Amino acid sequence: MKLNFGILGGGSWGTTVASLTAKKNNTILWARNKNTVNEINDKHTNSKYLPGAQLNKNLIASNSIKDTVKNADVIVVGIPSQHFREVLKIAKPHIRPWVPIVSLAKGLELDTKMRMTEIIEEELPGHPAGVLTGPNLAKEIHSGQAAAAVIAMVDDTIAKQLQHSFSSGLFRVYTNDDVIGCELGGALKNIMAIATGMGDGANAGDNTRAALITRGLSELTRLGTAMGGKSRTFSGLAGMGDLVATCSSSKSRNHHVGFQLGKGKSLEEIIEEMNEIAEGVKTAKVVMELANDYNVDMPISHEVYKVLYEGNSVHDAFRGLLKIESGSEKEPG
């Protein structure tokens, strides 16, 4: 059965998901930029965010949020976390009752410390809320390389229907009922990607990267389980899988930010040169508050925060980590 998909957000990942769903379903993609909309409709490309990629010819783009969502059976929100609520509020009057809302964002709202599905539940009560997440680098998926993702929803029946709708060729989608764990895995790993990027930029070596990834996994699992996620989720696609991809790839925006910091650039310079948002930069602020709220020790996140917001250098960060006493891997710290 064909579904009507309304996808909000014309960045690289929103456009990629829209192109995937357009293979099997009627799909409309909303983008703010009129030139992007015209390019998708006329040329089936989005050169700003996906240079060289050919989009599915069935995909329709629109400048109207109302037209994008009014007939949708599923709404997918690919908006950065700090603007997520604002776009949802505009869409709200035009969304039919009980339509599932799926987030693509991997961040936390700065003012409220809320996950995106919590924002959906607050703004659109009664709508099933979920997240599509995992080790998904948009450019690789568009070039036809194999990838896997997770659709996390509390309602397994809806998750299975969406699993079929999102799956396409070499893009495999698994289901999970741990929405909290899947969402937090996606948000928290971005900070670790900044940390490994800093190490790579400073030529710290492969051993350092491996240590940061594994200790980073321990760190995000501690906070994730304290906040209600299931520990096994963090060893799956939404945790370890996403962490490895984001911490190892030059295509990762958050790794790029860390890499440039490791090379000595200022955060302001790096952000100015980017045309997409690295969610980990803002998420680092929220995570420090959450670590305090839940009394969870997060030394890597703390050192990244100090580089981003307290003027510390990358070398200060690694010196800070070296001062921490090593415990047992059996212990939570």
Tens digit of each residue's pLDDT (9 = 90 or more) over 231-257:
999 999 999 999 999 999 888 999 999
Write out the residue range of the structural domain in which residue 132 sits: 4-177
Total count of domains within the chain: 2
What Rg, from alpha-carbon coordinates, does the chain have?
A: 19
How far apart are alpha carbons 193 and 201 in whole angstroms? 12
Say if residue 206 is in the same domain as residue 167. no
Q: In the chain, at which residue ranges do the beta strands (DSSP E only) sit?
A: 4-8, 26-30, 60-62, 74-77, 101-103, 129-133, 147-153, 171-176
- DSSP for 127-146 reads S-EEEEESS--HHHHHTT--
Q: SS3 for 81? A: coil
The domain spanning residue 219 has which CATH number? 1.10.1040.10
What was the pLDDT predicted at 322?
67
Say if residue 141 is in the same domain as residue 8. yes
Report which of 282, 322, 293, 176 is spatially closest to residue 223, judged by C-alpha positions.
293
- Given the residues 189, 263, 285, 306, select the one marked as catalytic: 189
Among 141, 157, 177, residue at a domain's last position: 177
User: Domain for residue 332, yes or no?
Assistant: no
State both tokens at 103: 């987030």
Is residue 9 packed enough to be buried (19+ CB in 10 Å), middle (13-18) or exposed (0-12)?
A: buried
How far apart are alpha carbons 284 and 261 in whole angstroms? 15
189 is a catalytic site residue: yes
User: Domain for residue 330, yes or no?
Assistant: no
What was the pLDDT predicted at 144?
80
Say if residue 14 is in the same domain as residue 89. yes
What was the pLDDT predicted at 139?
81
Say if residue 303 is in the same domain as residue 201. yes
Among 128, 154, 177, residue at a domain's last position: 177
How far apart are alpha carbons 306 and 222 in whole angstroms? 20
What was the pLDDT predicted at 327?
59
- Strand pairing of 4-8 and 129-133? unpaired
Under-70 pLDDT residues of the chain? 322-333
> From the annotation, which residues make up the binding site for sn-glycerol 3-phosphate?
106, 134, 189, 242, 252-254
Number of H helices, E strands in the chain: 15, 8
How far apart are alpha carbons 110 and 156 in whole angstroms? 30
Place of tokens 């096994």: 232
Beta-carbon contacts of 327 under 8 Å, excluding residues fewer than 6 positions away, are: 333
> From the annotation, which residues make up the binding site for NADPH?
12-13, 32, 49, 106, 138, 253, 277, 279
Contact 283, 219 (CB under 8 A): no
> From the annotation, which residues make up the binding site?
12-13, 32, 49, 106, 134, 138, 189, 242, 252-254, 277, 279
End-to-end distance of the chain based on CA atoms, in angstroms?
49
User: Domain for residue 329, yes or no?
Assistant: no
Return contacts of 136-140, CB within 8 angstroms, 24+ apart.
Answer: 136/13, 136/16, 136/242, 136/245, 137/245, 137/249, 137/251, 137/252, 138/12, 138/13, 138/15, 138/16, 138/49, 138/50, 139/12, 139/50, 139/53, 139/251, 140/251
